[in-house]
A and B are shown apart, each in its own frame.
Chain A
Amino acid sequence: MADVTASDGALRRFLHGLPGVDAVGLQARAAALGTRSIKTTAKAYAIDLAISMIDLTTLEGADTPGKVRALCAKGIHPDPTDRSVPKVAAICVYPDMVATAKEALAGSGIHVASVATAFPAGRAALPVKLADTRDAVAAGADEIDMVIDRGAFLSGRYLDVFEEIKAVKEACVRPDGTAAHLKVIFETGELQTYDNVRRVSWLAMLAGADFIKTSTGKVAVNATPPVTLLMLEAVRDFRAQAGIQVGVKPAGGIRTTKDALKYLVMVNETVGEDWLNADWFRFGASSLLNDLLMQRQKLSTGRYSGPDYVTVD
Chain B
Amino acid sequence: MSDRLSVLKTYKLYVGGKFPRSESGRVYEVTDAKGNWLANAPLSSRKDARDAVVAARKAFGGWSGATAYNRGQILYRTAEMLEGRRDQFAAEVADAEGLSKAKAAAQVDAAIDRWVWYAGWSDKVAQIAGSANPVAGPYFNLSAPEPTGVVAVLAPQESSFLGLVSVIAPAIVTGNTAVVVASEQAPLPALSLAEVLATSDLPGGVVNLLSGRTAELAAPLAAHQDVNAVDLTGAGAELAVELETAAADNLKRVLRPRAVDWTADPGTERLLAFLETKTVWHPMGV
Please name all residues of chain B whose beta carbon is closer than 8 Å to the beta carbon of A305 when the two chains form the complex.
Answer: 225-226
Contact B223 A306 (CB under 8 A): no
Judged by a CB distance under 8 angstroms, whether B50 is at the interface is yes
Please name all residues of chain B whose beta carbon is closer than 8 Å to the beta carbon of A307 when the two chains form the complex.
Answer: 57, 226
Contact B249 A303 (CB under 8 A): yes
Judged by a CB distance under 8 angstroms, whether A17 is at the interface is no
A297 to B224, CA, bound (A): 11
Q: Which of A268-313 contact B (CB under 8 A)?
A: 297, 302-309
Interface centre among A304, A305, A308, A309 (most CB of B within 10 A): A304
Please name all residues of chain B whose beta carbon is closer than 8 Å to the beta carbon of A304 when the two chains form the complex.
Answer: 50, 53, 220, 223-226
Please name all residues of chain A whose beta carbon is closer than 8 Å to the beta carbon of B226 when the two chains form the complex.
Answer: 304-308
Please name all residues of chain B whose beta carbon is closer than 8 Å to the beta carbon of A302 when the two chains form the complex.
Answer: 223
A302 to B223, CA, bound (A): 9
A308 to B224, CA, bound (A): 12
**Tally of A-B residue pairs with Cβ under 8 A?**
27
Contact B223 A303 (CB under 8 A): yes
| CB-based nearest B residue for A307 | B226
Contact with A along B183-206 (1 / 0, CB 8 A): 000000000000000000000000
A303 to B227, CA, bound (A): 11
**Size bracket, chain B contacts:** 10 to 19
Please name all residues of chain A whose beta carbon is closer than 8 Å to the beta carbon of B225 when the two chains form the complex.
Answer: 297, 303-306, 308-309
| CB-based nearest A residue for B53 | A304
Q: Which of B48-77 contact A (CB under 8 A)?
A: 50, 53, 57
Please name all residues of chain A whose beta carbon is closer than 8 Å to the beta carbon of B57 when the two chains form the complex.
Answer: 306-307
- For residue B120, give the distance in angstroms from its CB to the closest CB of chain A: 32
Q: Which of B219-233 contact A (CB under 8 A)?
A: 220, 223-227
A230 to B231, CA, bound (A): 50
Please name all residues of chain B whose beta carbon is closer than 8 Å to the beta carbon of A297 when the two chains form the complex.
Answer: 225
- For residue B70, give the distance in angstroms from its CB to the closest CB of chain A: 26
Please name all residues of chain A whose beta carbon is closer than 8 Å to the beta carbon of B224 when the two chains form the complex.
Answer: 303-304, 306
- For residue B286, give the distance in angstroms from its CB to the closest CB of chain A: 37
Please name all residues of chain A whose beta carbon is closer than 8 Å to the beta carbon of B50 when the two chains form the complex.
Answer: 304
A59 to B225, CA, bound (A): 31
A305 to B226, CA, bound (A): 6
Contact with B along A60-91 (1 / 0, CB 8 A): 00000000000000000000000000000000
| CB-based nearest B residue for A305 | B225
- For residue A112, give the distance in angstroms from its CB to the closest CB of chain B: 33
Q: Which of B223-253 contact A (CB under 8 A)?
A: 223-227, 249
- For residue B28, give the distance in angstroms from its CB to the closest CB of chain A: 23
A297 to B250, CA, bound (A): 14
Please name all residues of chain A whose beta carbon is closer than 8 Å to the beta carbon of B223 when the two chains form the complex.
Answer: 302-304
Please name all residues of chain B whose beta carbon is closer than 8 Å to the beta carbon of A309 when the two chains form the complex.
Answer: 225
- For residue A81, give the distance in angstroms from its CB to the closest CB of chain B: 13
A305 to B249, CA, bound (A): 12
Contact with A along B32-53 (1 / 0, CB 8 A): 0000000000000000001001
A146 to B55, CA, bound (A): 37
Interface centre among A302, A303, A307 (most CB of B within 10 A): A303
Please name all residues of chain B whose beta carbon is closer than 8 Å to the beta carbon of A308 when the two chains form the complex.
Answer: 225-226
A195 to B73, CA, bound (A): 53
- For residue A269, give the distance in angstroms from its CB to the closest CB of chain B: 24
| CB-based nearest B residue for A302 | B223
Please name all residues of chain B whose beta carbon is closer than 8 Å to the beta carbon of A306 when the two chains form the complex.
Answer: 53, 57, 224-227
A297 to B50, CA, bound (A): 14
| CB-based nearest B residue for A306 | B226
A306 to B223, CA, bound (A): 11
What are 15 A-B contacts with C-beta separation under 8 Å?
A297-B225, A302-B223, A303-B220, A303-B223, A304-B50, A304-B223, A304-B226, A305-B225, A306-B53, A306-B225, A306-B226, A306-B227, A307-B57, A308-B226, A309-B225
Other A-B pairs, 16, CB within 8 Å; known A304-B220, A306-B53: A297-B225, A302-B223, A303-B220, A303-B223, A303-B224, A304-B224, A304-B225, A304-B226, A305-B225, A305-B226, A306-B224, A306-B225, A306-B227, A307-B226, A308-B226, A309-B225
Which of A's residues lie within 8 Å of B, judged by CB?
297, 302-309
9 tightest A-B contacts by CB? Answer: A306-B226, A303-B223, A304-B224, A306-B225, A305-B225, A304-B50, A303-B225, A309-B225, A304-B220
